[in-house]
Structure 1
């Protein structure tokens, strides 16, 4: 009975260690990670287009709206020097963006309403090209089509990462890196750089194995003494 209890304790402890590392180290839910996220969020503006639903037709419409809006706003945003200028540009052309979006919806035979907004919202972890933004609150310009219940398309509006290849939705890796490095510190950039994130996960796995091995050795020593 005593050995059974010991085994249960071992399994419970290992589970706790794994959970702690997954939620702490691997996903940046420590104080350092939270501080980095807040600092990163203060330097970027996200762009989201939310489809009416997840039907193939609504998802296709979402991409058509995206393409028209990016074609309109790209020349204006690409020369922006800082986040405040980008924010002012979006506010200045907000009505035009809404009208363009609504026109695309009508041209494709739908009567969905279109709403545009620039505000702060909470977002889960998201990957775009070679960068991954940690979960947290971000300022975002959003286009909501109809019920806005479908999956969204997103990118980073400032720095201007949306405008590299709007026809394919791809991000040119080098351009993305350069644009992000212009506004983020090295530590902040390492937080969103996928190659560094992968390296960190490897380190976490080794740390996790090391902690579990130490615990098992400890338990074995205890059994020997008994």
Structure 2
């Protein structure tokens, strides 16, 4: 699929977009890991999340944060990147305003940005957060977390402390009106180098549950 350029706060953002296959199809946006650690929209976990939502009939966007690849601008320590994500979601919604629902998915730094976006966009009804860096960034903004989702963590993650993620999960689970799933993948490191199949099985099992018309979580 060819690259496209979408408008961002600091100029063009390089992106890939799979258009919705039918009227009122849901939409999803996928956010990549840390730009200064080599994270791009072509990261293999970011790509797998993208392909999974495409296969389920979503309109799906992934893009490079400012300063990554052909995206204009410079790294902004998360502040500008959150603005990039908001602008990218605006673009998807303008392309497909009749979307039935909106999801966000992110890996590592992208999970942190995605969960911030949750707080600003009430139309986001589901999230997938892979290895959220709870030991590196403050997640206290999730007060309260506005939607249900899943947090997936590698047990042998050498970058994100699994105990910090567990504390985040425990905190979110005290809130009413949302349900937080939490899967820990045995032996997996931060990049799920040898456990990609297990990671994506967790994602797909959760989507099977949430997208079932009879799911208790809407």
TM class by shorter chain equals under 0.3
Structure holding more strand per residue: 2
Q: Normalising to structure 1: TM-score of the pair?
A: 0.24
Structure holding more helix per residue: 1
The structure showing larger relative contact order (alpha-carbon pairs under 8 Å, at least 6 residues apart) is 1
Q: Whose Rg is larger?
A: 1
Q: Normalising to structure 2: TM-score of the pair?
A: 0.25
